[in-house]
Amino acid sequence: MSSHPSDSGPSTRGYRFASFEVDVRSGELRRQGIRLKLNAQPFQLLLLLLERPGEVVTREEICRALWPEGTFVDYEHGVNSALNRLREALNDTASHPRYVETLARRGYRFLLPVERIEDLGETPPVPPPVNAEAGGSEAEAEATAILASPGELPKASTQMVTVLFLLLQGMYAAMYVGALANLPEIDDLLSALHAWPHTYTLIVLTAALLLPVRAFAIFLVTFHAPGVREKFLRLWPATLVADILWAASPFLLLHHINFGLALAATVILVYSPFAQRALVLMGAGNVERQLG
């Protein structure tokens, strides 16, 4: 693979924008020092855009750079595929772009200022702190590297993943309402525990506080709010803690179900917050999955 466009110049070692850094020589894209998965053609496309930030790069220019003359390939599909993989790596969307903007029938434009890193032989400076627009902290970047990335998730219709996401939110809302509606029974069940007053208070407070959070998530996705993915991913670390705690809620039904069934339901609920994150990354709440 050619690691950079032919006109990048031998003095350019890489580029830096927001919390990302691009190493031209190694062909790597990193965020806060964490390497992101990006194949050859999406990486070449990124270099084309970074070489000319704020300018329109036409699809014809992209085709010439990505495929040698005489190559037989479906150029339209190839460009769309490379662009989608790039957007997934940057956590960007075509409908609400932060990095790569689509200009209908013209091409694409990189939106943010780009810092060129010259090859002067010195150690590259430490990346600047992440700003609010870029989103996330170093800890979040490390967590993102461990969790599934958009490129690692299967493709599915926006309608299907949206319905599944809304069903999960409805399930949690029903759990909170059910708990609040049966507080005397829960109080009786927990009375055998040494710390039952604290546990009872925790259940009441979290149920009351999380109901509006679920309503927010439902409206966010139902009405295709701008930046659905970004808003939910900012909220997700906090809801993750609450969801893990509420995974034990089937044990509040021990007056009605046996221990084994409660344990099985708890195991499934532990996975639920990660399923919600995956569904949002797969397009829940998007108007449509645009190819470019």
For residue 29, what is the domain's CATH number?
1.10.10.10
Contact indicator for 108, 56 with CB cutoff of 8 Å = yes
Sheet holding 115-118, edge to edge: 34-36, 28-31, 20-23, 12-17, 115-118
In a domain, 124, yes or no: yes
In a domain, 188, yes or no: yes
Task: Report the domain count for the chain.
Answer: 2
| Structural tokens at position 120 | 């002067």
Final residue of a structural domain among 135, 168, 189: 135
Final residue of a structural domain among 104, 135, 166: 135
Estimate the crossing angle of helix 40-51 against helix 75-90, to 10 degrees.
Answer: 80
Q: Tell me which H or E stretch contains 109.
A: strand 107-110
Domain that holds residue 70: 12-135
Per-residue pLDDT of the chain (292 residues), as tens digits, is 444 444 444 467 889 998 899 999 888 999 878 888 889 889 999 999 999 999 999 988 888 888 877 666 677 888 888 889 999 999 898 888 989 999 888 899 999 999 988 765 544 444 444 333 334 444 444 444 567 666 667 778 888 989 999 999 999 999 999 989 989 988 888 887 777 788 888 899 999 999 999 999 999 899 888 778 888 888 898 899 999 999 999 988 888 889 999 999 999 999 999 999 989 888 887 755 443 4
- Regarding whether 188 and 119 lie in a shared domain, the answer is no
